[in-house]
């Protein structure tokens, strides 16, 4: 006799067609790969191509009570990739719903489907005359714009609060019913321009949750500014770290600096620029301070570095540049970049690189880079990517950091850490934007990293002028069972630390979901009550962010 799952898969196959479903174990294993330890095995990967097919799929799932795990591109690396929380779920990938339905130049927004990627949106806007810029992350260019926004991801430009810049959602509820947020009549002319609609604001319910599948959304875009400068700041002395954060907060509160500044420690810079120097480890499994200091010298890397952009009219950029210079100059080195300078760097770097392989020219090349430009070639290489991403041009350049400790050769293209078995957890507590709060938390976190034998990898992402995300990566080698275990223990301890310090995470990886709201039972109860109302059979992404776990029954039945 067939199990409910087997019957459901047969029905889905007959509705959507053979080409839209993968159930063979090898393909399912490949698609399930995840940078976290021990991925949960999905039963199938299904690729609907229309709302009608999504509805049919959900009706079948309800009929047979089988869980469905929606994702847009499934590149949520470090948090869970395309991996379902429950074994035996049907993963519904929305990559084929990839239309850019509208670009409104006057009101600066686009309407897109979930399969639209950063690369695609950026290329489309360029082909339309480059009048609007879309934000992107420093993650995968082929990640989904909507998938990241629904997880409340953070980008690079003043439009970097991705969920904050969504406006007007179309949603298929678990029952298969389609709704539009905003409370207006269908096709309301301000659906994508007025975020709050009329009546209760419901859009937040569909982010970091499991109440529906988002099939369309308005995304606000930045009109290309008259002037744009990026700049890189390198802190001279680690002791000034807290003071510089306070300066940045003041500049962000005054709106001199856009938010979404990313400030990285020396270890992150090294992870982007090179491979892990295992040969320099001494009697421990993380790099001693003096080794990091030596590598900093070699690569021209500061204890902390950040880059951001200045956008506006020529006059605004000129004034803000002068304010930034005055505020930050006492603490480190500032390098302003514009399109012309970046073009020059892009032309010169290949020459300098080539010169290094000729014995007579190598010293000259080294002198130009070290003496004249006070930098390293590796750092120079990064300049065009830094300048580009701050205009929303996606790149694979930064994602390569996930291969820092991996045996796998670091690819220049088609970067895919989940496929290539890289080990990566993201841990992302949100902290008040003060030098003192951030320094105190990082000191304790560093103790936990070292206790478990890992280097502290931290990028501070300015979420808004009042809060900062301390985004930490645990990079581990999956083939080393002991290291993998230590990585899981470290992640668990960090999650506990956040709560004991009175903070919370801004976004959480799958292993954290079970206990995420242990200290907020009333909040969880309300979420579960809403879940029962919209999804009585608990078929949609049960367990996502801990919601719907109270009525989960084990879905272990396999084909």
**Site of interaction with ligand ADP (CB under 6 A):** 70-76, 80, 94, 114, 143-144, 146-148, 150-151, 213-214, 541, 544
Query: Which residue lies nearer to ligand ADP by CB, 5 or 94?
Result: 94
Strands, sheet with 44-46, edge to edge from the N-terminal-most edge strand = 21-22, 44-46, 90-93, 68-71
Q: How many whole angstroms from its chain centre is CA 312?
A: 26
Q: How many residues does the chain have?
A: 559
> Least separation, in Å, of the C-beta of 417 and ligand ADP?
12
> Least separation, in Å, of the C-beta of 203 and ligand ADP?
12
Query: Which residue lies nearer to ligand ADP by CB, 53 or 151?
Result: 151
> Least separation, in Å, of the C-beta of 102 and ligand ADP?
18
> Least separation, in Å, of the C-beta of 215 and ligand ADP?
7
Query: Which residue lies nearer to ligand ADP by CB, 266 or 510?
Result: 510
> Least separation, in Å, of the C-beta of 81 and ligand ADP?
7
> Least separation, in Å, of the C-beta of 70 and ligand ADP?
5
| Cβ atoms of residues 77 and 406 within 8 Å | no
Task: Give the 3-state secondary structure percentages of the chain, helix then strand then coil, rounded to 5.
Answer: 40, 20, 40
Beta bridge partners of 475: 424
Strands, sheet with 423-432, edge to edge from the N-terminal-most edge strand = 332-337, 227-235, 304-312, 262-265, 458-464, 467-476, 423-432, 504-507
| Cβ atoms of residues 238 and 442 within 8 Å | no
> Least separation, in Å, of the C-beta of 420 and ligand ADP?
16
Query: Which residue lies nearer to ligand ADP by CB, 146 or 524?
Result: 146
**What Rg, from alpha-carbon coordinates, does the chain have?**
24
Nearest-10 Cα torsion for 340, 342, 343, 349? 140
Taking CB atoms within 8 Å and a gap of at least 24, the contacts of 405-408 are 405/276, 405/475, 405/476, 405/477, 406/477, 407/477, 407/479
Query: Which residue lies nearer to ligand ADP by CB, 94 or 301?
Result: 94
| Cβ atoms of residues 70 and 540 within 8 Å | yes
Distance of alpha carbon 27 from alpha carbon 4, whole angstroms: 22
Beta bridge partners of 468: 431, 462
Strand, coil or helix: 481: helix
Q: Which residue sits closest to ligand ADP, CB atoms considered?
A: 147
For the residues of 43-73, what is the DSSP string, one character each?
A: SEEE---SHHHHHHHHHHHHHHT--EEEESS
| 329: its two tokens | 């100059």
| Cβ atoms of residues 71 and 528 within 8 Å | no
Query: Which residue lies nearer to ligand ADP by CB, 117 or 320?
Result: 117
> Least separation, in Å, of the C-beta of 59 and ligand ADP?
17
> Least separation, in Å, of the C-beta of 544 and ligand ADP?
5
> Least separation, in Å, of the C-beta of 273 and ligand ADP?
24
Tell me the HSE value of 417 on the side-chain side, using a 13 A CA sphere: 32
Query: Which residue lies nearer to ligand ADP by CB, 162 or 477?
Result: 162
Query: Which residue lies nearer to ligand ADP by CB, 67 or 147?
Result: 147
Q: Which single residue is written with the structure tokens 């989960």?
A: 552
Query: Which residue lies nearer to ligand ADP by CB, 75 or 405?
Result: 75
Query: Which residue lies nearer to ligand ADP by CB, 74 or 394?
Result: 74
Query: Which residue lies nearer to ligand ADP by CB, 369 or 399?
Result: 399
> Least separation, in Å, of the C-beta of 418 and ligand ADP?
10
């Amino acid at each position: 006799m067939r199990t409910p799952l087997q019957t459901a898969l047969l029905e889905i196959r007959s509705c959507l067609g053979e080409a839209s479903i993968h159930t063979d174990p090898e393909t399912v294993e490949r698609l399930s790969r995840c940078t976290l330890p021990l991925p949960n095995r999905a039963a199938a990967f299904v690729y609907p191509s229309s709302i009608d097919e999504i509805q049919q799929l959900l009706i079948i799932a309800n009929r047979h009570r089988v869980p469905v795990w929606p994702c847009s591109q499934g590149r949520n690396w470090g948090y869970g990739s395309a991996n379902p929380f429950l074994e035996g779920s049907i993963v519904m990938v929305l990559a084929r719903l990839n239309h850019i339905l509208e670009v409104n130049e006057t009101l600066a927004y686009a309407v897109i489907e979930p399969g639209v990627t950063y690369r695609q949106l950026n290329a489309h806007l360029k082909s339309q005359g480059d009048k609007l810029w879309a934000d992107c992350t420093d993650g995968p260019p082929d990640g989904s714009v909507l998938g990241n926004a629904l997880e409340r991801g953070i980008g690079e430009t003043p439009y970097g609060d991705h969920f904050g810049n969504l406006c007007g959602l179309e949603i298929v509820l678990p029952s298969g019913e389609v709704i539009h947020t905003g409370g207006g009549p269908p096709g309301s002319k301000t659906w994508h321009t007025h975020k709050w609609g009329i009546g209760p604001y419901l859009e937040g319910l569909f982010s970091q949750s499991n109440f529906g599948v988002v099939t369309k959304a308005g995304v606000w875009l930045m009109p290309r500014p008259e002037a744009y400068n990026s700049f890189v700041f390198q802190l001279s002395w680690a002791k000034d770290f807290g003071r510089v954060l306070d300066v940045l907060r003041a500049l962000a509160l005054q709106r001199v600096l856009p938010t979404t500044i990313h400030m990285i420690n020396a270890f992150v810079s090294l992870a982007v620029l090179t491979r892990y120097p295992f040969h320099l480890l001494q009697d421990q499994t993380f790099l001693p301070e003096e080794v990091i200091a030596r590598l900093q010298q070699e690569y021209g890397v500061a204890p902390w570095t950040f880059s951001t952009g200045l956008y506006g009219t020529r006059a605004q950029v000129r004034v803000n540049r002068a304010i930034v210079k005055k505020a930050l100059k006492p603490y480190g080195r500032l390098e302003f970049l514009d399109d012309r300078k970046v073009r020059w760097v892009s032309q010169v770097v290949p020459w300098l690189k080539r010169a290094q392989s000729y014995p007579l020219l190598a010293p000259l090349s080294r002198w130009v880079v070290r003496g004249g430009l006070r930098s390293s070639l590796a750092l120079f290489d990064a300049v065009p990517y830094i300048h580009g991403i701050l205009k929303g041009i996606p790149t694979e350049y930064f994602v390569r950091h996930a291969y820092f400790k991996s045996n796998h050769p670091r690819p220049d293209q088609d970067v895919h850490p989940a496929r290539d078995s890289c080990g990566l957890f993201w841990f992302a507590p949100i902290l008040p934007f003060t030098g003192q709060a951030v320094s105190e938390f990082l000191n304790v976190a560093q103790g936990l990293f070292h206790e478990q034998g890992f280097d502290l990898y931290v990028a501070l992402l300015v979420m808004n002028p009042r809060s900062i995300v301390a985004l930490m990566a645990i990079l581990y080698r999956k083939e080393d069972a002991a290291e993998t275990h230590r990585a899981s223990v470290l992640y668990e301890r960090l999650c506990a630390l956040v709560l004991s310090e009175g903070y919370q995470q801004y976004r959480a990886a799958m292993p954290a979901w079970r206990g995420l709201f242990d200290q907020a039972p009333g909040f969880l109860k309300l979420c579960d009550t809403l879940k029962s109302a919209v999804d009585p059979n608990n078929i949609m992404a049960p367990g996502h962010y801990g919601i719907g776990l109270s009525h989960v029954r084990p879905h272990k039945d396999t084909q």
